[in-house]
């Protein structure tokens, strides 16, 4: 797709329509144009030669500051036209009033404002430090990124007021000087949102304004503007063409599943899938093997081929066939006009790096053509899918044997959607207590995409948290994912995301002319966070957030009470309890109650009656439980309990006593309605202790720091 240049004169025309251009400007192409400019003799002006594809006019001598005089302006015009035409088509000479813009000595007061459209995010507004040192300042003071589809001018203004540039303009810095006011800024942002509509009509993909300054009245105006337009309209993202409610039923509650690609040999993918399916509690006849020439496998009657599904349709067909046969099976289904509503593709080699024969394009073209004609078309999941698990019917279609992954989705508030099958199974292997409702490896998303899964799971009353792992978004699906997540947020549900494949190059400041002072990941992250997605920057924090949400999927943490038996843990926690998550303090009445409690447990000479509460290694389970009840009855919404298990006062060997303590602590959480999490900082010999606490439904962390990092991530939603 080639792009054409959006030159500065046209940019000024667009800015004029939304009230963002400077108050006096004009264009010279012929001598008679001089009379139309309307400048007074001697008035300070700026003269710019405008050439197609020339972004930096000053580098070519096409910018001149002067006093208005018709003869002088014409001389500049002729020189600029002659010199500029060497570099491209000369559009005309722009003459504008020279703005004596407001400044604060020693501080950058110019802005860069860019509107950028990408297939992933749609229109994004970027606002950062402008002027000739844009890139240098952008490294120190990160720009603001607003996805226009998910942000209002009011929200943008609120963010801008907290940014370094906004504080400079509004004079809220220490000893600052007020250069403008919120009314003018709101008018500016509203104009930018209107400008997006004009740019969309133009087929534009970028308009960069650098600098934007405050004129003598404090009104933000753009002194420069260039961009790009596409010569072809963008191709809309394909859709699986299935309603979220129906997709949810097919994915999570399939009533019948057919499987093609079963080998008689043990340990092959198809055979492992069948073995896992045989442990499901679906009604008799729900699992249908397809194997030519065989009447039955493992006691199940077989179909001879895909063609038999025409008269025996199923909700889902799992294809564990070589790539070429997989494509043939999809074509066979389409040709016969039915057989399986969803097709789960296990193999690779279809639309990925191993596809050297264009199989993926062939399949996509087939689906698009049929849907365009209104013909029956299956929804495809994958390829490169490792399988899925559902608590409905104890379904497991992974080609991982039970001996390696003895995990069964037992139901609960969490659903896990992963582009990587390995990510899915390692999470399940490492966190056996996850209350999993549904888990799926979605592979390369040739048809059904991440946004479709999020929207579908959002229709599930049981799912409160959708955790996702993604390495890349299909064209157009980033914005669709954000919108789907936003819908879940409105329903009080959570979407947590970790993205792999974030290169250092993608995060670095690239160029002021791309509108991407932050790289692609920064733009994606801004879009997702604006939609309310919890974006984790590390796997460890991702896991910590899931631990909290798995146990307590409702509400958002803000006030945390810490109690521990190690002094260093209380110090570390105090360092982390700031910003969106703050440490809770007891009032006078609560403090007196705590003093009495400490006396009852003979800790009054060892423990100070305040939070964070350091109970010292002399505290036993009874002291912990009493303290937890007291703290949970306060205004704290979260209680974090630190248990360094090396003290002899805590029982870490007797299974019955460990279980009793864990259940009693969990009962405090249930009775009080507060989150209670536990940090157990000890070696492998204390694993049974951790498991006892996890078995009671408590989130358990390897350290106080990890637990608090997870809380902070949730609080930033």
The pLDDT value given to residue 503? 57
For residue 691, how many other CB atoms are within 10 A of its CB? 17
C-alpha to C-alpha distance for 396 and 408, rounded to whole angstroms: 8
Helix, strand counts (H, E) of the chain = 23, 31
C-alpha to C-alpha distance for 550 and 434, rounded to whole angstroms: 7
Return the H-helix or E-strand segment holding 379.
strand 379-381
Report the DSSP pairing between strands 204-214 and 220-222: antiparallel
Q: Which residues pair with 94 in a beta bridge?
A: 27, 48
575-581 contacts, C-beta under 8 A, 24 or more apart: 576/705, 576/708, 576/709, 576/712, 577/708, 579/712, 579/715, 580/712, 580/715, 580/716, 581/557, 581/708, 581/711, 581/712, 581/715
Contact predicate 525/498, CB 8 Å: no
The pLDDT value given to residue 241? 75
The pLDDT value given to residue 136? 62
C-alpha to C-alpha distance for 306 and 326, rounded to whole angstroms: 11
The pLDDT value given to residue 352? 81
Residue 427 neighbours by CB under 8 Å, 6+ apart? 416, 418, 434, 543
Contact predicate 287/277, CB 8 Å: yes
C-alpha to C-alpha distance for 516 and 223, rounded to whole angstroms: 20
Helix (H, G, I), strand (E, B), or coil: what is residue 116? Answer: strand
Domains of the chain: 23-97 (3.30.1490), 111-230 (3.30.470.20), 244-470 (3.40.50.720), 554-715 (3.40.50.261)
DSSP for 140-206, please give it: HSPPEEEEGGG--HHHHHHHHHHSHHHHHHHT-STT------HHHHHHHHHHHHHHHHHHHHHTEEE
Q: Which candidate, 135, 137, 143, places its Cα nearest to that of 108?
A: 137
Residue 404 neighbours by CB under 8 Å, 6+ apart? none
C-alpha to C-alpha distance for 698 and 337, rounded to whole angstroms: 50
Distance of CA 533 to the CA centre of its chain: 5
Structure tokens of 94?
Answer: 């722009």
The pLDDT value given to residue 518? 43
C-alpha to C-alpha distance for 288 and 284, rounded to whole angstroms: 10
Residue ranges of E strands in 12-143 = 25-28, 44-51, 63-67, 90-97, 111-118, 122-129
C-alpha to C-alpha distance for 241 and 67, rounded to whole angstroms: 62
Report the DSSP pairing between strands 257-260 and 287-290: parallel
Place of tokens 């509503």: 341
Structure tokens of 375?
Answer: 């013909």
Helix segments in 354-476, DSSP class H:
359-372, 421-430, 450-457
Tell me the pTM.
0.88
Going from the first residue of the chain to its last (717 residues), give the mean pLDDT of each consecutive group of 10, the final group possibly shorter: 82 96 95 94 96 93 96 97 96 96 88 92 92 67 91 97 95 87 98 97 95 96 94 55 93 97 89 96 95 93 97 97 96 97 94 87 96 96 96 96 94 97 94 94 95 97 97 90 96 96 49 40 89 95 97 96 93 89 96 98 96 96 98 98 97 97 98 97 96 96 96 93
Q: Which candidate, 298, 306, 268, 263, places its Cα nearest to that of 280?
A: 298
Q: Which candidate, 200, 191, 251, places its Cα nearest to that of 227?
A: 200
Structure tokens of 114?
Answer: 């860019």
Contact predicate 563/642, CB 8 Å: yes
Helix (H, G, I), strand (E, B), or coil: what is residue 460? Answer: coil
Integer CA distances (angstroms), 291 to 257, 342, 383, 598, in order:
14, 19, 21, 71
The pLDDT value given to residue 475? 86
Report the DSSP pairing between strands 44-51 and 287-290: unpaired
Contact predicate 42/68, CB 8 Å: yes
Q: Which candidate, 375, 371, 458, places its Cα nearest to that of 417?
A: 458
């Amino acid at each position: 797709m080639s792009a054409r240049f959006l030159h500065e004169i046209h940019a000024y025309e667009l800015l004029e329509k939304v009230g963002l251009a400077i108050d006096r400007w004009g264009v010279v192409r012929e001598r008679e144009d001089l009379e139309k400019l309307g400048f007074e003799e001697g008035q300070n002006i700026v003269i710019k030669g405008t050439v197609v594809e020339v972004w930096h006019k000053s580098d070519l001598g096409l910018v001149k500051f002067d006093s208005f005089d018709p003869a002088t302006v014409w001389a500049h015009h002729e020189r600029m036209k002659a010199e500029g035409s060497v570099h491209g088509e000369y559009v005309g000479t722009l003459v504008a009033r020279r703005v004596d813009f407001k400044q604060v000595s020693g501080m950058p007061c110019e802005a860069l404002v860019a509107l950028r459209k990408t297939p992933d995010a749609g229109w994004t507004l970027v606002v950062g430090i402008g002027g000739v040192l844009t890139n240098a300042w952008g490294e120190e003071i990160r720009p603001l990124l607003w996805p226009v589809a998910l942000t209002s001018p009011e929200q943008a203004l609120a963010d801008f007021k907290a940014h370094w540039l906004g504080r400079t303009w509004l004079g809220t810095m220490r000893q600052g000087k007020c250069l403008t006011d919120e009314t003018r800024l709101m008018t500016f942002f509203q104009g930018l949102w209107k400008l997006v509509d004009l740019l969309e009509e133009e087929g534009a993909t970028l308009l960069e304004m650098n600098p934007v300054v405050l004129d003598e009245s404090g009104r933000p105006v753009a002194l420069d503007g260039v961009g790009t337009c596409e010569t072809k309209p963008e191709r809309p993202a394909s859709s699986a063409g299935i309603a979220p409610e129906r997709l949810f039923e097919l994915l999570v509650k399939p009533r019948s599943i057919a499987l093609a690609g079963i080998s008689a040999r043990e340990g092959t993918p198809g055979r492992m899938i069948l073995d896992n399916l045989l442990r499901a509690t679906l009604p008799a006849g729900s699992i249908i093997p397809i194997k030519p020439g065989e009447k039955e496998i493992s006691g199940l009657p077989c179909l001879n081929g895909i063609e038999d599904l025409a008269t025996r349709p199923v909700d889902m067909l799992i294809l564990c066939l070589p790539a070429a046969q997989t494509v043939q099976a999809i074509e066979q289904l389409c040709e016969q006009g039915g057989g399986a509503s969803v097709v789960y593709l296990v193999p690779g080699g279809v639309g990925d790096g191993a596809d050297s024969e264009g199989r993926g394009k062939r399949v996509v073209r087939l689906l698009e053509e049929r849907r365009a004609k209104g013909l029956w078309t299956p929804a495809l999941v994958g390829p490169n899918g490792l399988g899925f698990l559902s608590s409905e019917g104890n379904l497991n279609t992974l080609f991982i044997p039970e001996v390696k992954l003895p995990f069964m989705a037992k139901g609960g508030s969490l659903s896990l959607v992963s582009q990587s099958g390995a990510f899915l199974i390692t999470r399940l292997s490492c966190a056996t207590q996850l209350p999993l409702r549904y888990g799926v490896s979605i592979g390369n998303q040739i048809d059904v995409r991440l946004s479709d899964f999020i929207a579908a799971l959002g229709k599930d009353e049981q799912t409160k948290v959708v955790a996702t792992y993604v390495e890349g978004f299909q064209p157009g699906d980033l914005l669709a994912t954000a919108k789907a997540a936003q819908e879940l947020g409105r329903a009080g549900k959570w979407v947590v995301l970790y993205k792999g494949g974030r290169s250092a190059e993608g995060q670095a400041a690239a160029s002021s002319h791309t509108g991407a002072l932050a790289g692609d990941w920064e733009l994606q992250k801004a879009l997702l966070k604006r939609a309310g997605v919890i974006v984790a920057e590390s796997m460890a924090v991702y896991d910590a957030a899931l631990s909290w949400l798995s146990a307590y999927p409702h509400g958002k943490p803000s006030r945390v009470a810490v109690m521990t038996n190690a002094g260093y843990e209380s110090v570390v926690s105090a360092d982390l309890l700031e910003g969106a998550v703050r440490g809770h303090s007891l009032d006078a009445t609560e403090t007196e109650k705590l003093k009495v409690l400490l006396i009852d447990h003979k800790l009054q000479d060892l423990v100070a009656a305040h939070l964070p509460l350091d109970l010292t290694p002399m505290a036993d389970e009874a002291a912990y439980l009493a303290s937890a009840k007291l703290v949970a009855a306060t205004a704290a919404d979260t209680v974090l309990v630190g248990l360094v298990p090396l003290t002899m006062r805590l029982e870490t060997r007797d299974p019955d006593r460990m279980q009793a303590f864990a259940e009693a602590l969990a009962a405090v959480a249930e009775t009080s309605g507060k989150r209670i999490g536990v940090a157990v900082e000890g070696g492998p010999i204390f694993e049974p202790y951790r498991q006892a606490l996890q078995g009671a439904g408590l989130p358990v962390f390897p350290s106080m720091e990890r637990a608090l990092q997870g809380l902070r991530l949730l609080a930033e939603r």
